[in-house]
Structure 1
């Protein structure tokens, strides 16, 4: 059975880099900062979605009275 609505995606080979790029300490620090920022962003997103869920519950309770 073929799955319905599955477009055929050709294999895409990434262009091989000519030489392994050496990361300078600055690059590593930037990478670390980016990771921290991404983590903080996802944590904030989780907190905000939790808060919005709580607010929805409270509003629902108030409206049900």
Structure 2
């Protein structure tokens, strides 16, 4: 997997307060658009597990 450009959700419209994602050498990188110097790198499997947990309410008790 090669490096891709940063992508953000179409729901973000023109705002700079959104999460951006890209792939780099088989990993997934995430950053907040207004804090571009801070990057979180993870695996596609770990990100999928996190998203699944969010969708199923696994982390609601932290709110």
> Whose strand fraction is larger, Structure 1's or Structure 2's?
2
Which structure is richer in relative contact order (CA contacts within 8 A, separation 6 or more)? 2
Could you say whether these structures have the same fold, taking a TM-score greater than 0.5 normalized by the shorter chain as the test? no
Between Structure 1 and Structure 2, which shows a larger proportion of helix residues? 1
TM-score, scaled relative to structure 1: 0.27
TM-score calculated relative to the size of structure 2: 0.28
Query: Highest CA radius of gyration, 1 or 2?
Result: 1
